[in-house]
Chains A and B, each alone.
Chain A
Amino acid sequence: MDFSKIIRLISGIAFIGILYFIIFYALKIMYKDVKSGGRKRPSSSKRSYGIEVVSVGENSNLEEGSILLLRDVITIGRKEGNTIRLSDQYVSGNHAEIKLKNNEIIIRDLQSTNGIFVNDVKIKDYFKLRANDKFRIGSAIFKVIRSDKN
């Protein structure tokens, strides 16, 4: 058996080996995916975010210092069916929506009458919130908090 034949054999087997290794590892990762899975798996980052009520303003049903964990979407408004219901008269029926997407927190103004103020500046349409940002809806003030644990 000459030299080129040996090279041929080795490279052929190497190609096959690597291809199947790739498949094997891919399946391994997917298996982890399925095991930890279910439909909504927590985002891959280790941070989790929440919304803290800083000041209740004219809302009788809120409590200062209470915290709501931010999972996918939080809606804020006066109507029934919002995650956070405010009774303040300056709040629209469907006022705002806060969404966690690709590790970014996006607050969206749902065409409310009086708008949303982030750090005392009125926002247009939507805004990317960061940790410790304060936002005001009507008379209530909320703060974005972050926990690095877990």
Chain B
Amino acid sequence: MNKLKLEKRVLKLIYLLCILIFTNLALLEKPLNKNAIFIGLGLCLIIGFSHYLIRRFYPNGDKFLFIFSSILAVVGVAVLFRIDQSMAIKQLLWVILGIAAYIVISVALPNMSKFADYKYIYMIITLIFMPMGLLYGLIFNVETNGAMNWVYFGPFGFQPSEFGKISLILYLASSLKDYESKNNIKEDFKQLIIPALIVMYSLVCMVLQTDLGSTLIFFGISVTMLYIATSKKKYVFTCLGLSVVGAIGAYGVFSHVKRRVMVWLDPWKYASDEGYQIVQGLYAIASGGLFGVGLGNGYPDLIFASESDFIFAVICEEFGVIFAVGIMIIYFLLFYRGIRIAFVTSDKFSQLLVVGLSTMIACQTLVIVGGIFTVIPLTGITLPLVSYGGSSMLSMFFALGMLQKVSEEN
């Protein structure tokens, strides 16, 4: 059996999954909810058409990036539909926009290696995006869910850190690509000091915005890219050492960091106030069991932010842990495909970029899922491609578009 045939079979299975889930959602209401059916069919159409376009124009590119991300998007829209129907329609719009951006990036842009030389442009964009939420929050005195990571232009709001993340990766890739080991601490230090300062600046901005999730992701991405560029363990250990100092400092200085850690250590003690969200999430996961309570039978309304940060708990409750593990496997495979692209490309900039973007997806998933299961302190970030949110969806599809672009180049 050839590859195309197998690939089409996978696509058919995705359509089947999509149709089944949305039929189930439609049956939850009496009379039948026609919107659910329309959304399901619409998603199938979009996925089929985009897959056709990608295959038609770039037969040599990676097809799994799109296949895996479309499964995640389908599950995301379905769960959102179950929580709040108007939200699902908005999310569908974001998915369509995201996929459009993905196709435009992978079809229309010139080779990614041409973007290697705009180091200073990326730097400036990063420098602008990182403190944007903080400045906006301080000037207009707005906080969204206790964090200052939103910026509003009239009716539209977006999270600058989501886009800052991508510009930071672009900057690191373009500045670390020229790194050469000179076996001389002074010289090496000189090469790395500016990127290190930019990363520190971003981290401090994020901590001040009380966006601890992004802090963790930025740190993970930077250390991974540093190691890939230099292949020296001593830098990684230096970074880890510095981060321990930084973490202890932040624990002492900022009260919100302290609170998060305390809730993480014993959520049950704070079950009625600060730990309420985590405890409700854990209840939901436990009541779901292996096979879930079935769509429409859970209580996502009891969990705060069940549409964004805690969407994984809702998936666990209604679809069961086995399904949720399947979703995790898909994230892992997405990460694997990303790293695989880095192996087949020869350009240093593209390699670093691809590694950074894949790490971003993996880190983000691990940080939020770990937080929900209280493996690490909970930090509010979105589950990539599943959670509700335009900024997150768009930035994720930008990242996937760039991965796709690099995969086509060899």
Q: Measuring CB to CB, which residues of chain A are less than 8 angstroms from any residue of chain B?
A: 7-9, 11-16, 18-23, 25-30, 32-33, 39, 43-45, 101-103
Known contacts A14-B20, A18-B20, A45-B59; decide if A25 and B9 are in contact (CB<8 Å).
Answer: yes
Q: In which size bucket is the chain B interface?
A: 35 or more
What 0/1 pattern do residues 57 to 80 of B give for CB contact below 8 A with A?
111100010011001000000000
Expressed in whole angstroms, the minimum distance between the Cβ of A16 and any Cβ of chain B is: 5
Tell me the nearest residue of chain B to A72, going by C-beta: B410
B258-266, B288-296, B362-370: which lies at the interface: B288-296
A7 to B28, CA, bound (A): 11
A15 to B25, CA, bound (A): 13
Q: Please give, as numbers and ranges, the residues of chain B lying within 8 Å of A14 by CB-CB distance.
A: 20
Q: Is the C-beta of B100 less than 8 angstroms from some C-beta in chain A? A: no
Known contacts A23-B326, A25-B9, A25-B10; decide if A16 and B320 are in contact (CB<8 Å).
Answer: yes
- State whether A102 touches B13 (Cβ < 8 A): no
Q: Please give, as numbers and ranges, the residues of chain A lying within 8 Å of B327 by CB-CB distance.
A: 19
A74 to B82, CA, bound (A): 56
Expressed in whole angstroms, the minimum distance between the Cβ of A32 and any Cβ of chain B is: 6
Q: Please give, as numbers and ranges, the residues of chain A lying within 8 Å of B3 by CB-CB distance.
A: 29, 32-33, 44
Tell me the nearest residue of chain B to A33, going by C-beta: B3
Tell me the nearest residue of chain A to B68, going by C-beta: A26
Q: Is the C-beta of B136 less than 8 angstroms from some C-beta in chain A? A: no
- State whether A22 touches B13 (Cβ < 8 A): yes
Q: A25-B9, A44-B59, A102-B57 are in contact. List 4 more A-B contacts (CB 8 A).
A: A12-B291, A18-B16, A23-B333, A25-B13
Q: Please give, as numbers and ranges, the residues of chain A lying within 8 Å of B14 by CB-CB distance.
A: 22
Q: Please give, as numbers and ranges, the residues of chain B lying within 8 Å of A26 by CB-CB distance.
A: 10, 64, 67-68, 333
Q: Is the C-beta of B193 less than 8 angstroms from some C-beta in chain A? A: no
Known contacts A22-B71, A32-B3, A44-B59; decide if A15 and B10 are in contact (CB<8 Å).
Answer: no
Expressed in whole angstroms, the minimum distance between the Cβ of A106 and any Cβ of chain B is: 12
A22 to B13, CA, bound (A): 6
What are 14 A-to-B residue pairs whose CB atoms are below 8 Å?
A8-B293, A9-B294, A15-B319, A16-B291, A19-B323, A19-B326, A19-B327, A23-B326, A23-B333, A26-B64, A101-B60, A102-B57, A102-B60, A102-B408
Q: Measuring CB to CB, which residues of chain B are less than 8 angstroms from any residue of chain A?
A: 3, 6-7, 9-10, 13-14, 16-17, 20-21, 24, 27, 57-60, 64, 67-68, 71, 291-295, 297, 319-320, 322-323, 326-327, 329-330, 333, 343-344, 408
- State whether A43 touches B68 (Cβ < 8 A): no
CB-contact partner of B58 in A18, A27, A28, A102, under 8 A: A102
- State whether B59 touches A13 (Cβ < 8 A): no
CB-contact partner of B294 in A12, A19, A44, under 8 A: A12
CB-contact partner of B7 in A7, A15, A29, under 8 A: A29
A83 to B216, CA, bound (A): 49
Known contacts A22-B13, A25-B9, A28-B6; decide if A15 and B21 are in contact (CB<8 Å).
Answer: yes
A26 to B68, CA, bound (A): 9
CB-contact partner of A13 in B7, B24, B291, B293, under 8 A: B291
| 9 tightest A-B CB contacts, nearest first | A8-B294, A19-B326, A18-B17, A25-B10, A22-B13, A29-B6, A12-B291, A11-B24, A16-B323
A19 to B3, CA, bound (A): 19
Q: Please give, as numbers and ranges, the residues of chain B lying within 8 Å of A102 by CB-CB distance.
A: 57-60, 408
Tell me the nearest residue of chain A to B297, going by C-beta: A8
Q: Please give, as numbers and ranges, the residues of chain A lying within 8 Å of B17 by CB-CB distance.
A: 15, 18-19, 22
Known contacts A29-B7, A44-B60, A102-B59; decide if A11 and B329 are in contact (CB<8 Å).
Answer: no
